[in-house]
Structure 1
Amino acid sequence: MITTAAPVPLHFDNAFVRELPADGESGPRLREVRGALYSEVAPTAVSQPRLIAHSREMAESLGFSEDQVKSQQFADVFGGNALFEGMQPFASNYGGHQFGHWAGQLGDGRAITLGEVVAAGGQRWELQLKGAGPTPYSRSADGRAVLRSSIREFLCSEAMHHLGVPTTRALSLVATGDTVIRDMFYDGRPEPETGAVVCRVAPSFVRFGHFELPASRGETALLERLTDFTINRDFPHLRGDRETVLGDWFGEVCARTAS
């Protein structure tokens, strides 16, 4: 059962869920989702959330004190057992390619976004748990992550950031106290491993697949709505008539991707 955590001095402004269309059904039941960009779904609680590591720099950027980070409440929230007031958890709906072929709907199969924090300096950060349990997009998987891959993601994302490579950040790494069955070497011998949850942080988790899926389905109105939202929220410096802004946005996305 997910509980409500004691208040913390974080300002949530969840523009994605406020301004874009939601799936008409909530919860983790597997399904095809059309005409919507996300599904409301809460993390699945774990038995013993315990903080293993955190980025002090990222925590300070969000407004957490060291005492708050070291509290059990922090581990509860970022392990998936509790929510701060203002959080609105969801899994987003997008498409993509797998093994060189268009796979249609993929979505957040083991990632759940908790909300968007606007920090003291005005910087917007999305908080996303990876390994927090099943979503409508999990397909046949369990929505969980193991400690070994979570350590790798935590360390590599922070290392890449400090090397100057644009990437997601890592706020925290929480051990769940539960085991997850995985076939580590893909040799047909699955074994129990230690479960974990990483909290990923980025200004935006909107990806190319969010645009590809509605485009592939002919959902033009949804595609235009997502485009306008993305420009207004994530590219506010672009100004002018609509045709000019769309061209400038496309050019900037291409330039950023190429670099």
Structure 2
Amino acid sequence: MQLHIKDTFNKELPSDPITDNSRRQVSEATHSYVSPRIPSQPKLIHASTAMANAIGLEEDAIKSNDFLDIFSGSKIYPKTKPYAMAYAGHQFGNWAGQLGDGRAINLFEVEENHKRWAIQLKGSGETPYSRQGDGLAVLRSSIREYLCSEAMHHLGVPTTRALSLMVSGDDVLRDMLYNGNADYEKGAIVARVAPTFIRFGNFELFAARNDIKNLKNLPITP
């Protein structure tokens, strides 16, 4: 499986010098290098042929072991370094400070037909920004995201795109109804795609810290 890797965000911007996935406050860095959690028994549920074609993959590649391994987080694509982005923002009307990719891990950026795409996994384990979370996702919410993101795209609403949906083979503890009765559900991983995952919160983080140098370094467009 060959992809045209064109990493820029993690190549051109400062990274966190600590390289483990432990939760912490990260300063003077736009991202932290992390390792996706290896799922016990990943299985492909569905993949978008259109999105695969957009990043340079033919239908045969979707059926390959490489596709399963890379987009489940079981293996890392050669010469790439997965990372989680640092950003800040508000929650429930209050300034929350550092937030970041707590349940998403960016794999790499690709360029195909003069168009750039960033690809990340959602539900592939904890990062320094996970706070009290486990960085995992369950099948029911992953199906919802997978379907809704593609539906919104085809309705003309700019949003992330869905590349693939996999079950991890691991059980994830969740309180579905928020009533104190937590139970185990099937874990899942969504590979999602966008021209960039840079958001307003990336700029807010450095503005709040008066870190003008890193604020100016952030690209406005992908």
TM-score range, shorter chain: over 0.9
Counterpart Cα distance in 2 of 1:139 and 1:123 = 34
Instruction: Tell me, yes or no, if structure 1 residue 146 matches structure 2 residue 131.
Output: no
Q: How does 1:1-259 map to 2 (within 5 A)?
A: 8-119=1-112, 121-226=113-218, 229-231=219-221, 234=222
What amino acid sits opposite 2:5 in the alignment? Answer: F
Superposition deviation, residue 9 in structure 1: 2.0
Question: SS at the partner of 1:165?
Answer: coil
Deviations, residues 140-174 of structure 1 (Å, cap 9, x unaligned): 11100000000000000000000110010000001
Mapped partners of 1:63, 1:12: distance in 2: 11
Structure 2 residue identity aligned to 1:160: M
Give the number of the structure with larger relative contact order, counting CA–CA contacts within 8 Å between residues 6 or more apart.
2
Deviation at 1:225, TM superposition (A): 1.1
2: CA distance, partners of 1:72 / 1:221: 43
The alignment partner of 1:82 has SS state of coil
Which residues of structure 1 form unaligned runs of 5+?
Answer: 1-7, 235-259
Q: TM-score, normalised by structure 1?
A: 0.84
Q: How far apart are the structure 2 equivalents of 1:80 and 1:9?
A: 17
Q: Distance in 2 between matches of 1:205 and 1:213?
A: 15
Matched positions, count: 222
User: What TM-score do you get using the length of structure 2 for normalisation?
Assistant: 0.98
Give per-residue Cα distances to partners, 1:60-92, cap 9 Å, x unaligned.
111112121012321221111012213320000
Contact (CA 8 Å) 1:93, 1:105: kept in 2 or not?
A: yes
Q: Give the ranges of 4+ consecutive aligned residues of structure 1 lying more than 6 Å apart after TM superposition.
A: none
Separation in 2 of the partners of 1:87 and 1:198?
A: 19
> Which whole-Å CA distance do the structure 1 matches of 2:124 and 2:86 have between them?
17
Residue 44 of structure 1, CA deviation: 0.8
Runs of 5+ unmatched residues, structure 2: none
Partner of 1:257: none
Of Structure 1 and Structure 2, which has the larger fraction of its residues in helix?
A: 1
Preserved CA contact (<8 Å) 1:14 1:88: no
Mark the structure with the bigger radius of gyration: 1
For 1:182, the aligned partner's letter is: R
Give 1:193's aligned amino acid: E
Counterpart Cα distance in 1 of 2:186 and 2:68: 16
Distance in structure 2 (CA, Å) of the matches to 1:11 and 1:115: 10
| Deviation (angstroms), 1:114 | 0.2
Deviations 1:194-223 (A, max 9, x none): 000000100000000000011001111110
Pair 1:225–1:21, CA change in 2 (3 A): same
Q: Percent identity?
A: 55
Counterpart amino acid of residue 65 in structure 2: Q
Give distance in 2, aligned partners of 1:135 and 1:19.
Answer: 21
Aligned partner of residue 230 in structure 1, secondary structure: coil
Alignment RMSD, CA only?
Answer: 0.9
Q: Does the 8 A contact of 1:176 with 1:197 survive in 2? A: yes
